[in-house]
Amino acid sequence: MWIIRATTEDDWSLLKQIRLDALCDAPTAFGVSYATAAAHSDMQWRERASGRGSAHFVLAIVEGRAVGLVGGVIKPGFELELIAMWVRPEWRGAAVAAGLVGAIKKRAVEQGCERIVLSVSPNNERAAAFYRKQGFTFLPEWEPLDSDPRIQLQKMAWRATTASIKSR
């Protein structure tokens, strides 16, 4: 079984490893390249894992190994932008991804965010279907992928319900 929890500074090596693995597995799914992320110093990974910066990361962990990752950045206007979502192939379909999205939704509501946004290629049918199942809907907004501007991403959004906002 896995546990899902926010990263701490001590998790920097777990975060680094799973982020680099994600970038190797799905290089056109993220706005940053493997080369860019691999060039970050250990101190930068420590800072990222600590949650003291603008980004917040959550890991799914099994026996000391990270098997899933989600990250978000709180933006102006009561919005959290999902910036990283990936699950190791052998753990896909095991509800790890849903647990990670649930954790980031909880974080968003606790921070007063009214919605979560993300960008995904509609051609990535598995990811788009997963996000729709999690309550996200496509918006009529498009943007190029930072790491490969030839790929167009469409924005999706999830809105916190009145009940989820009241429960914080």
SS3 content of the chain, % helix, strand, coil (to 5): 40, 35, 25
DSSP for 21-47 reads HHHHH-TTSSSS-HHHHHTS-HHHHHH
The number of beta carbons lying within 10 Å of the beta carbon of residue 140 is: 6
Residue 168 — pLDDT band, cuts 50, 70, 90?
very low
Render pLDDT for 74-113 as a digit per residue (tens, 0 to 9): 998 889 999 999 999 999 988 999 999 999 999 999 989 9
**Check: CATH 3.40.640.10 for 3-166?**
no
Hey, is 166 helix, strand or coil? helix
Quick one: tokens of 126? Answer: 């598995």
| Domain boundaries along the sequence of the chain | 3-166
Alpha-carbon torsion angle 81, 86, 92, 93, nearest 10: 0
Q: What is the pTM of this model?
A: 0.90
CA pair distance 62, 71, nearest whole angstrom: 18
